[in-house]
């Protein structure tokens, strides 16, 4: 009985999640189909173009069967920049949140730099790293860095004081407090920052791949825009949306596994 109820609830969730996209597709179809010319192609045209991008055999042009090449290039830049941002931001955020000296040294500068949009860094990235993937990598790193950092600081600053008192009573050394108290207690906030940072990484990749790279989903979006290939632009957008959704699900699964001890995250 419980298994049937669980399956029924899962099916209901899936149907609810698909309801709005289905309505959006229907509205898109009604607005664009049966027209002699439209700047926005209908859904079926985009689906055919996406198939050609993925496996070829339809148009056999410069975009045919190139989706995997562009996807792998973007995945490398997104996850590379995101991973580097996490490696830098999490330890720094823990130190800023816990050590007053580090907070006084770094927090004012970081608060000054944080409001600067990633797009404003684009010219400087080209000067520092030149035209190519290094600039895209840097911009992805920058876009992911601040959400992870700020959520880590927030999580560390909000660790309950009684946990430190309990650790001291149990004989936990001051060096071990970070790993045995601060990190576990702040993990929920850190994973929120990781989800936000990864989402922004997918947003920034289009800007990053405007820096003259030849491959990547952002690169084909910009190239197709210049050639008025709106269906290719939409295919790139849909692919980024799917990859962003799937990568967010992976981070959530990892978070649930690491936080399986917490009743709030079962």
CATH classification at residue 154: 1.10.3720.10
Residue 56 burial (CB < 10 Å; 0-12/13-18/19+)?
Answer: middle
Tokens 């944080």 correspond to 114
Angle made by CA atoms 128, 132, 133, in degrees to the nearest 5:
95
* Number of compact structural domains in the chain: 1
Its domain, for residue 93, covers 68-265
CA distances from 167 to 54, 164, 258 (A): 55, 5, 21
- Give domain status of residue 44, yes or no: no
pTM here is 0.88
* Average confidence (pLDDT) over 121-146: 91
**Which of these, 231, 226, 196, 243, lies nearest to 70 by C-alpha position?**
243
pLDDT value at residue 67 = 95
Answer yes or no: is 33 within a domain.
no
Alpha helices in the chain (DSSP H): 2-32, 43-55, 67-98, 100-113, 122-129, 133-157, 161-169, 177, 183-208, 217-226, 230-258
Per residue in 201-238, pLDDT tens? Answer: 999 999 888 877 889 999 999 999 988 899 999 999 99
In a domain, 38, yes or no: no
First CA to last CA distance, the chain: 21
In a domain, 1, yes or no: no
Confirm whether 16 is domain-assigned. no
Over the chain, what is the mean pLDDT?
88
pLDDT, tens digit (0-9, with 9 covering 90-100), for 181-199: 888 888 999 999 999 999 9
pLDDT of residue 172: 72
Is residue 144 a part of any domain in this protein? yes
Q: Considering the domain boundaries, does residue 197 fall inside one?
A: yes
Indicate whether 102 belongs to any domain. yes
């Amino acid at each position: 009985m419980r298994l049937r109820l669980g399956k029924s609830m899962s099916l209901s969730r899936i149907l609810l999640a698909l309801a709005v996209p289905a309505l959006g597709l229907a509205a898109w179809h009604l607005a664009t189909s049966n027209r002699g010319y439209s700047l926005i192609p209908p859904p079926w045209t985009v689906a055919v173009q996406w198939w050609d991008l993925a496996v070829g055999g339809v148009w056999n042009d410069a975009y045919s069967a190139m989706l995997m090449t562009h996807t792998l290039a973007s995945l490398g830049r997104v996850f590379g920049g995101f991973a580097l941002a996490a490696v830098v931001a999490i330890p720094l955020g823990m130190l800023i949140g816990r050590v007053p000296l580090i907070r006084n040294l770094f927090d004012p500068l970081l608060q000054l730099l944080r409001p600067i949009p990633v797009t404003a860094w684009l010219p400087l990235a080209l000067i520092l790293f030149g035209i190519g993937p290094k600039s895209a990598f840097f911009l992805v790193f920058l876009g992911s860095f601040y959400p992870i950092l700020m959520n880590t600081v927030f999580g560390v600053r909000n660790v309950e004081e009684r946990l430190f008192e309990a650790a001291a009573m149990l004989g936990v050394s001051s060096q071990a407090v970070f790993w045995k108290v601060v990190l576990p207690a702040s993990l929920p906030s850190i994973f929120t920052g990781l989800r936000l940072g990864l989402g922004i990484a997918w947003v920034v990749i289009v800007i990053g791949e405007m820096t003259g790279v030849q491959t990547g989903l952002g690169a084909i979006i910009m190239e197709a825009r210049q050639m008025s290939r709106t269906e290719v632009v939409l295919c790139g957008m849909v692919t980024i949306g799917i990859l962003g959704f799937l990568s967010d699900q992976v981070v959530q699964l990892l978070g649930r596994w690491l936080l399986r001890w917490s009743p709030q995250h079962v």
